[in-house]
A and B are shown apart, each in its own frame.
Chain A
Amino acid sequence: MKVLSSPVGRSAIAAAAFFVVLVVGALAYTSTGGSARDLLVQELLVNLVIVLGLQVFIGTTGILSFGHLAFAQIAAYGAALVAIPAASKATSLPDLPLGLGDVELGPFGATLVGIAVALLCGAFVGVAVARAGGLAATMITLAVLFVVDQAVKNWTELTRGAGGLSGVPRMTTDTWLWVTALGALLVANLFAETRLGRFAAATRDDEIAAPAIGIDHFWPRWAAWIVSIALVGAAGALRVQLVGSTNPEQYTLDIGVLLLAMLVIGGMRTVTGAFVGTLVITVGNEIFRQLGDDHGIVRLPELFLGAVLLAVMLIRPGGLLGDTDVRAWLSRLSRRRIPAAAASERAGDDGATPPRAPGDLAATGISVRFGGFRALEDAAVRVRPGEIVGLIGPNGAGKTTMFNVVTGIVPEQAGEVTLGEHDLTDDPPHRIARAGLARTFQNLRLFPTLPVRENVALAALSARRYRPQAPAVDVDVLLESSGLTGVAERPAATLDYGNQRRLELARAAALAPAYLLLDEPTSGMSDQESRAMVDHVRATARLVGAGVLVIDHDLAFITRICDHVVVLAEGRVLAEGTPAEVRADPAVAEAYLGRRESRAFLQSDRPL
């Protein structure tokens, strides 16, 4: 069981399991037929390595790429150009630039050169893709596919154009391909366990929540891109040496869509899904090709592909297997061994951390305009270490905008945000989170496909990495105190509303922040639940030693929990003070209730 608790061990076991399936399947299949069957196995392995490459980038980051095949092509041509014997290059490619005509490398060297060239080109493109994200990134990859296609077709001195290169010395056995397939299975499984791999999955699940726990979009995406290009490049460089030739027809958008279909049909978010999808589509494609040949129907495989893809998208858009994954299952298996009592015991020993913020959290003179609308006008709010401050006001008063300004999501036109001596005014969201501000969102922003535990663990991981001065937060203790231990392995999206709220709070707390910013933690809760939330928020803040700035419409909740209350109305600070002072303020009552109602209210003893 010790093997299972290490990421390398888990990944190795998962990779080995897939590999055994492949070997047994291939042996059973080829033992009964001729050399044509060997070719199909070869094709399957090449596809598998490419699809695993796609999984590492597309699956973990959620950014669709059409450009990966271009890098397989670059690697293939790179490997071919250094592998073709000099004598044959002298006649077939007389005008080779860069002195390539005299280079002659063995299969190993040629493969490495191919991968290296792909990585070199890919590193630059990766910067653009990782920075852009979303649809723009997809368009960049599409552009790359066409640029490389055009270059290969027209830079004839190097590529011989549409005819392609031939005469590449052929590998006599598939050994290297098998080794590469095993390596790719291991790399893809392992990447999902690495810090950057896990962070990449967080950016995929919620682009705004990830920076809110200190994750920068760029590096996880770029790392995923580089690893995936290396895998895809290896497949390209090997294929050209197995087949002996290459041409632009092997790397068109159509082929790209075929490979993409393999990725999504099984379930793109997991290696298991990519593996199963590759098997299903490669085998199905072959069956329908033969059927088509037998009955004289062209393009039958294409019909099969379109129909399967359409059916899966309509019926199971997450793929046939969804998020079922061998490695994730192994990981759960290893955790089940930890006695359940451990966490609660650990929670028992005091738990409280003294407030250790580097100073006050202060937003001063904040002004924000959306077009002609003044969301905030010279507004200010201050929280002292360990203090709980409420931010209240009628709808549209600018409360959430204030949060968004403080956490760097909305730019302010004037004012500044400081944490102790540290000026956060112009920092991007992930830096603000790393400085020690963690927030929740009005509309809940969890990482929906990730397990509850992983939602919290990601923030703890980010804290360990980017907030070394902060106290270590025990994920299990947080889950236990939030009442989430029982559902820790379920995807966050499957929780009920109250649990989702508590999970979001636990995730923010796991960052061990100096201040927690909570946007309507009791929204949608019953009176009873909201009363329980008072203690829960207090306990959680005390556990990590954080001060709290909280927005809520439930004024009973605010009165119970807050040391100090700031009232916003129409973008300005209307009043502030203790809950009792604020309640007695005629201006506040009027803003909430209107002039006539407010007079009666002030004479009564009703809570606001």
Chain B
Amino acid sequence: MHELSIALSMMEQMEQQAAKHGGKVLAVQVRIGALAGVDCEALRFAWEIARAGTAFAETTLEIEPVPLMVRCPQCGETHEAEMFSIACPRCVTPEQEILTGRELELRSMEMET
């Protein structure tokens, strides 16, 4: 739903980077965490709309989904959690430290040489 806003924010940062480094942007890599509240399919769809008629009209969007990884503060167990149940599978401690899964990161850009 807000993926178009996300796509536009991406483009703003990409414009700054492209101006700094010079050249055409062939592809952009982003990392989206499971708990980031962003739907990857919707972001792909929004990207198609956002890039049309801009300097990024031919830029490919590559999404790396990041799983929700949590660590148990009691027993140290690290596991990939389901979004709706993050308790530790080993000792059932409910409070878990979130290691990854909140990412909404513009990782890198591939530029024409």
Question: Are the chains A and B members of one assembly?
Answer: no
